[in-house]
């Protein structure tokens, strides 16, 4: 069984609808995916309906926004109940904060001479969750940058950028607690991005004691040394090591199925999720 545990649709910042993500998974020879749109689970029903016809299982997931030391931390939640009241309320609050942040970024970029509009950013965000990639797309359209990745710098909307604003988000432990409360298993996404005033190792050690189930080891942004680093840490801390593509269907992430998680590890995640229901 080949499973990709980190995929995005246009419900957040992916390029295609949830059903198209499932069709891409089928074409890549996958048996199962987790749909993990940013701060939303709105695409799960569509993805599962497509998966039933194609023989691709769909795990209900989301990539939940957290903040540590004014830096983003992404926490993947798997096997959660999409109708869980507090989960739904917290995700809605984070999405609302994303709208406010996008508006502030556009205003600041305008002050810096970038001719984009909030209305265009909203139009580019076809789904519920508005993110920096949509601002970057608008900047490409305006001819300010050639590729979306050029926006994620100190000059523009990188974490320390001139037009960066932090969204309201949970603490990493708060995100883990929320996922567990909603019946899920929590996994830290692409931990290489975390290193800052607090190291990824320090954060993972703390969260492992607080209910974290796993860590994303095999990710397109992780080179061999990063995979060894976080693989060793997962073994030390008894965290389940996962692999995934972070598929977006555009310039972000990797090709769907480029990293997979073995069936036994998916089952381990399921069992850890079931343990807190």
For 75-115, the pLDDT digits (tens) are: 999 999 999 999 999 999 999 999 999 999 999 999 999 99
Read off the pTM. Answer: 0.91
Amino acid 206: pLDDT? 97
Burial 119-135 (b: 16+ CB within 10 A, else e): ebbbebbbbbbbbbbbb
Instruction: Give the pLDDT band (50/70/90) at residue 277.
Output: very low
Could you give the percent of the chain with pLDDT greater than 70? 99
Which residues belong to CATH 3.20.20.140 in the chain?
3-91+169-274
Express the helix, strand and coil content of the chain in percent, nearest 5 each. Answer: 45, 15, 40
For 176-202, the pLDDT digits (tens) are: 999 999 999 999 999 999 988 899 999
Q: Confirm if 32 and 266 have CB atoms less than 8 A apart.
A: yes
Q: Which of 247, 262, 256, 251 is nearest to 27 (CA)?
A: 256
Written as one string, the DSSP assignment of 139-193 is HHHTTS-SSGGGGSSTTTTSTT-TT--PPP-B-HHHHHHHHHHTT-EEEE--GGG
Domain 3-91+169-274: top CATH class = alpha beta
More confident residue, 19 or 250: 19
Q: Which of 76, 50, 72 is nearest to 63 (CA)?
A: 76
Instruction: Give the pLDDT band (50/70/90) at residue 275.
Output: low
């Amino acid at each position: 069984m080949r499973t990709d545990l980190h995929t995005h649709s246009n419900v957040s910042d992916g390029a295609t609808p949830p059903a198209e993500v499932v069709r891409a998974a089928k074409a890549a020879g996958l048996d199962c995916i987790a749909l993990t749109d940013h701060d939303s689970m709105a695409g799960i029903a569509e993805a599962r309906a497509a998966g039933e016809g194609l023989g691709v299982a769909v795990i209900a997931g989301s990539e939940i926004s957290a903040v540590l030391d004014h830096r983003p931390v992404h926490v993947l939640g798997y096997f959660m109940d999409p109708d869980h009241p507090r989960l739904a309320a917290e995700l809605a609050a984070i999405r609302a904060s994303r709208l406010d942040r996008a508006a502030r970024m556009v205003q600041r970029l305008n002050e810096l001479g970038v001719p984009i509009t909030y209305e265009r950013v909203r139009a580019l965000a076809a789904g519920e969750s508005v993110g920096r990639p949509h601002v970057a797309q608008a900047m490409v359209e305006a001819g300010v940058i050639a590729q979306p990745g050029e926006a994620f710098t100190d000059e523009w909307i990188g974490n320390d950028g001139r037009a960066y604003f932090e969204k309201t988000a949970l603490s990493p432990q708060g995100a883990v607690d929320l996922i567990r409360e909603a019946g899920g298993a929590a996994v830290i996404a692409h931990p290489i991005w975390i290193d800052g005033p607090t190291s990824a190792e320090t954060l993972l050690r703390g969260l492992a004691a607080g209910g974290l189930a796993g860590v994303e080891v095999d990710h397109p942004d992780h080179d061999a040394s990063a995979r060894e680093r976080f693989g060793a840490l997962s073994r030390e801390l008894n965290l389940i090591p996962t692999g995934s593509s972070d598929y977006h269907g555009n310039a972000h992430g990797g090709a769907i199925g480029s990293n997979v998680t073995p069936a036994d590890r998916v089952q381990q995640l399921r069992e850890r999720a079931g343990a807190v229901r």
